[in-house]
């Protein structure tokens, strides 16, 4: 049986390992990319040597100027790019260092919280024994239970009133004459029409027996609002009574432990929650910087492409190709040695380029696998599966399955499905006397936080709302017959 914290910790360690592998690969691609440009510069130098050998002094000088110009511009761009790369690398290093410190701090807090939670779990039987014969506690528990029952009953009545309003209001809402008079405020002090309009409205009201219908409709729409307000007040009272009950439980636990264990656990949880927020921001920042560095290391940034372009165009020039063919035609061993150097450089460039392509493919694969891991970690945190109460019955989640996820053999969704099926929530020890229904327990142990009360429908909103039903009135009069 794995605890949630063990499982999440192992996944996060795998993520850290994958990040390091990705970072090393980016550095390797960057070194290889720089190696390509260095080889191209040396190839350019070999072309210049060949030009000096084959051409007269003036022509060689012209060629050298053109090649030197291209090389200088390429070098300028590469130096600028190198400076930018160093800035990005330093920013990434600082972000990762800060993340490591935050993560280490979180682990220390997690350990402290886990110790406090286990201590609290060990004392549950003792606290139950103290409270099960405490008359004041038992009286407050009965008061809290009665307040909860009242709140649930009030919530049910409010829901029933809301449903009645929706069902019985359909006929009223579907009659255009009734709606017309209701919206004008006919029969109320807000109605201020005179003359012929007033006479016609009076005639319409008599035709549909509006006065009786208005009173019924006003009561029909008013009851749910009143019931909802009453239900909300009952819910507030129930929450207050449960908080009083939770205070008994926490005080008894404090006496047994000699310290405020619940307060300590909740304090650790608050700090961890803040660190998790910071970690999420740092992860996003690291992702952005790592993406920029990946672009640099693979030579996809604009400065590198421009520098590469300068050298490539020079090496592809027609007059250099002519020099190549001329060198092959002459029996002189000197220019053949130069040609051999050029061929060697070309082969080495192609070899390094192949390695770069392979590393880029691996880089994309690692990035995809890291994204899968990140999604799993995000889901674990959103479900609070790293809490004390979370356990997993499938031990393979931290061994075989995690290894397959890291290697990319399964997706994050596959891993998450297995984790969901094996997830369990353990309950604190004891006879459930001290913290009934989790009231007063820390959230990490299955409680509901400092409010001491689980959110329920009794605190919802029941009033208001429009009526979209499509009933109708027959024979010019109301046929509902409902009275309130």
**Per-residue pLDDT, 461:** 37
The answer to the question of residue 468 being in a domain is: no
SS3 state at 425: strand
Q: Give the residue, 207 or 450, on which the prediction is more confident.
A: 207
Residue where a domain terminates, one of 257, 276, 306: 257
Region 268-283: mean pLDDT is 91
Over residues 113-159, the pLDDT tens digits come to: 999 999 999 999 999 999 998 999 999 999 999 999 999 999 999 99
Percent of the chain whose pLDDT exceeds 90: 31
State which residues form the domain around 340: 2-131+261-445
The residue written with tokens 């060689």 in the block is 60
The answer to whether residue 266 sits within a structural domain is yes
What end-to-end distance do the CA atoms of the chain give, in Å?
A: 59
Alpha-carbon distance of 455 to 141, in angstroms, equals: 18
CA dist 24 and 20 (Å) reads: 6
Q: Using CA atoms in the order 406, 410, 416, 421, what is the torsion angle rounded to 10 degrees?
A: -120
Per-residue model confidence (pLDDT) at position 150 = 96
Among candidates 189, 183, 192, 182, which has minimal Cα distance to 216?
182
The tally of domains found in the chain comes to 2
pLDDT tens per residue across span 298-339: 666 676 667 666 656 555 554 556 655 665 666 667 777 877
Higher pLDDT, 324 or 477: 324
Same domain, 108 and 154: no
Q: Per-residue pLDDT averaged across 362-373, rounded?
A: 89
**Both 118 and 221 in a single domain?**
no
**Phi-psi map region of 427: left, alpha, beta (phi>0 left; psi -120 to 50 alpha):** beta
Q: What helix, strand, coil percent values describe the chain, rounded to 5? A: 80, 0, 20
- With respect to residue 56, please indicate whether it lies within any of the assigned structural domains: yes
Q: Indicate the average pLDDT of the chain.
A: 81
**Bridging pattern class, strands 390-392 and 2-3:** antiparallel
Q: Does residue 472 lie within any of the structural domains?
A: no
DSSP state at residue 50: H
Same domain, 105 and 148: no
Same domain, 114 and 142: no
Instruction: Give the pLDDT of residue 436.
Output: 87
Residues 407 and 266 in one domain: yes
104 and 141 co-located in one domain: no
Q: Are 36 and 352 in contact (CB under 8 A)?
A: yes
Contacts of 243 (CB under 8 A, 6+ apart): 451, 452, 453
Lowest mean pLDDT, pick from 13-22, 79-88, 247-256: 79-88
For residue 473, tell me if it sits in a domain.
no
DSSP letter at 299 equals T
What pLDDT is recorded for position 117? 93
**Given the DSSP bridges, would you call strands 423-425 and 390-392 parallel, antiparallel or unpaired?**
antiparallel
Q: Is residue 369 within 8 Å of residue 407, measured between CB atoms?
A: yes
pLDDT tens column, 204-246: 888 888 888 888 888 888 888 899 999 999 999 999 999 999 9
Whole-angstrom distance, CA of residue 379 vs CA of residue 405: 15
Check whether residue 288 and residue 409 sit in a common domain.
yes
Least confident among 175-179, 233-237, 306-310, 395-399: 306-310
- Quick check: is 284 in a domain? yes
Judge whether 113 and 269 are in contact, CB under 8 Å.
Answer: yes
* Rounded Cα gap, residues 407 and 414, in angstroms: 13
Asked, for residue 27, whether it belongs to a domain, the answer is yes
Q: How many Å apart are CA 141 and CA 244, to the nearest integer?
A: 9
Predicted pLDDT at 460:
38
pLDDT band at 78 (very low <50, low <70, confident <90, very high): confident
Among 257, 287, 320, residue at a domain's last position? 257
Question: Same domain, yes or no, for 353 and 425?
Answer: yes
Helices (H), 298-431: 302-315, 318-329, 333-382, 400-407, 412-422
Are residues 416 and 283 part of one domain? yes
Taking only the tens place, the pLDDT of each residue in 26-55 is 888 888 888 887 887 787 777 767 665 655
122 and 48, same domain (yes or no): yes
Q: What is the rounded distance in angstroms from the CA atom of residue 208 to the CA atom of residue 340?
A: 106
Q: Which residue has the higher pLDDT, 264 or 204?
A: 264
**Residue that terminates a domain, selected from 257, 272, 295:** 257
The answer to whether position 416 is within a domain reads yes
DSSP state of 4: H
Please indicate, yes or no, whether residues 163 and 207 belong to a single structural domain of this protein. Answer: yes
Residue 203 sits in the same domain as residue 345: no
What residues have CB less than 8 Å from 87, skipping those under 6 apart?
Answer: none
More confident call, 259 vs 41: 259
Tell me what pLDDT residue 313 has: 59
């Amino acid at each position: 049986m794995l605890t949630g914290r063990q499982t999440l910790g192992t996944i996060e360690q795998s993520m850290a390992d994958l990040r390091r592998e990705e970072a090393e690969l980016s550095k390797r691609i960057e070194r290889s990319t720089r190696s390509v440009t260095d080889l191209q510069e040396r190839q350019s130098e070999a072309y210049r040597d060949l030009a000096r050998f084959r051409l007269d002094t003036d022509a060689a000088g012209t060629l050298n100027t053109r090649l030197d110009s291209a090389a200088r511009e390429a070098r300028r761009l590469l130096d600028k790019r190198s400076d930018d790369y160093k800035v990005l690398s330093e920013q990434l290093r600082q972000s990762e260092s800060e993340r490591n410190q935050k993560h280490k701090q979180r682990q220390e807090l997690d350990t402290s919280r886990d110790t406090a939670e286990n201590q609290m779990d060990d004392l549950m039987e003792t606290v139950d024994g103290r409270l099960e014969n405490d008359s004041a506690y038992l009286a407050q528990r009965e008061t809290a239970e009665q307040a909860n029952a009242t709140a649930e009953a009030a919530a049910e009545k409010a829901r029933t009133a809301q449903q009645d309003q929706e069902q019985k209001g359909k006929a009223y809402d579907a009659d255009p004459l009734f709606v017309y008079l209701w919206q004008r405020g006919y029969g109320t002090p807000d109605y201020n029409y005179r003359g012929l309009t007033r006479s016609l409205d009076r005639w319409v009201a008599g035709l549909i027996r509006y006065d009786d219908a208005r009173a019924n409709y006003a009561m029909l729409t008013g009851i749910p609002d009143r019931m909802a307000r009453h239900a909300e007040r009952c819910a507030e009272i129930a929450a207050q009574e449960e908080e009083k009950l939770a205070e008994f439980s926490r005080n008894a636990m404090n006496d047994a432990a000699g310290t405020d264990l619940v307060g300590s656990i909740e304090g650790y949880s608050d700090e961890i929650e803040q660190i998790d927020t910071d970690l999420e921001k740092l992860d996003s920042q690291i992702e952005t910087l790592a993406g920029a560095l990946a672009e640099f290391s693979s030579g996809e940034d604009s400065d590198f492409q421009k520098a590469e372009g300068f050298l490539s165009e020079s090496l592809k020039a027609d007059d250099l190709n002519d020099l190549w063919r001329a060198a092959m035609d002459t029996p002189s061993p000197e220019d053949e040695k130069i040609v051999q150097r050029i061929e060697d450089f070309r082969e080495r460039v192609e070899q390094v380029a192949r390695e770069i392509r392979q590393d880029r493919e691996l880089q994309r694969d690692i990035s995809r696998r890291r994204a899968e891991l990140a999604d799993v970690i995000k889901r674990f945190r959103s479900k609070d599966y790293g809490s004390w109460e979370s356990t997993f019955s499938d031990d393979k989640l931290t061994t075989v399955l995690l290894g397959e996820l890291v290697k990319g053999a399964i997706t994050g969704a596959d891993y998450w499905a297995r984790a969901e099926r094996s997830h369990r929530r353990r309950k604190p020890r004891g006879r459930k006397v001290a913290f009934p229904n989790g009231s007063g327990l820390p959230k990490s142990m299955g409680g509901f936080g400092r409010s001491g009360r689980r959110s329920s429908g009794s605190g919802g909103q029941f009033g208001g709302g429009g009526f979209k039903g499509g009933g109708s009135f027959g024979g010019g009069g109301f046929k509902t017959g409902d009275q309130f």
